[in-house]
Amino acid sequence: MSSHARRTFLRQAGLTAASLMALPGAAHAAPPSRDGVPASTLLSAAAEWDELQQAEPWDVSWPKKLTGKHKAMFDVPEVEGGVGVLRAGIWQRQYTDVLKTQPGDLSTVIVVRHNGIFLGMNQEFWTTYQVGKAEKLKGDDGKTLKHNPVLPAPGQDAPASMRALMLDKQIENGAIVLGCGLAYRSVVGMIQQRDKLDAAEARKKANSMLVPGVIMQPSGIFANVMAEEAGCAFVYAV
């Protein structure tokens, strides 16, 4: 999605100009394959599954929390300025305003997978490992994106209408955010290479930089299917 298209989308969603100015910036990434992961990566992941499975205690209890009358799962495979995460918050706002739903009537799931996994990492990670530069992500001004666009930018205040759409605030308000365990390997690898750590130490450090509340799953597709089986409408959000 281009910067112009993103701004148009947000205006049509009813956000104010001040809110738009508070956004850290849109990111531009190469269009993903429809499933988000190249076949070679999937084959490699399949070969390593036994090792990964032994290392990860997967939390699959989250579907029990999806008790709302209206359930939606937002699939976010790319950064794209965070628009996939924003859509989840806007959906909640529109259902509340138009259908007069109560907070307990809505169950929201956000799946960050493929390149979108970086949205699940905190601002310290983005700054320390220069995610924008490494992933060639640009902001509206054409410069390299320096911060996670779905978290408050350091030293900047966002209007209340925009702050409510940020990932941490959505989690605080009950949204379930799931991370792709396969894509997370690229996060761990980034730390391992930069800090010269072994795999276990790098994973421990990566875990400390996850946005609080993000629940890692074996893969994004695994999370997608579980959410649909729990009654969520599927939304390809990017």
Query: Which residue in the block uniquely carries the two structure tokens 């947000």?
Result: 10
Average pLDDT score over residue span 95-115: 96
Confidence class for position 236, pLDDT limits 50, 70, 90:
very high
Using an 8 Å Cβ cutoff, are 157 and 11 in contact? no
Report the side by side order of strands in the sheet with 233-236.
215-217, 176-180, 106-112, 70-76, 233-236
Query: What rounded mean pLDDT belongs to the chain?
Result: 85
> Can you name the residues that pair with 138 across neighbouring β-strands?
144
Name the region of 132 (left: φ>0; alpha: ψ -120 to 50; beta: rest).
alpha
What is the tens place of the pLDDT at every residue in 159-174?
A: 888 999 999 999 999 9
Is the pLDDT at 11 greater than 70, yes or no?
A: no
Is the pLDDT at 124 greater than 60, yes or no?
A: yes
Beta carbons within 10 angstroms of residue 38's beta carbon: 12
State residue 159's pLDDT score. 85
Average pLDDT score over residue span 113-134: 97
Most distant pair of Cα atoms in the chain: their distance = 53
Of residues 10 and 29, more confidently modeled:
10
Distance of CA 124 to the CA centre of its chain: 16
State residue 10's pLDDT score. 52
Give this prediction's pTM: 0.82
Average pLDDT score over residue span 127-133: 96
Beta carbons within 10 angstroms of residue 198's beta carbon: 9
Using an 8 Å Cβ cutoff, are 79 and 29 in contact? yes
Distance of CA 201 to the CA centre of its chain: 24
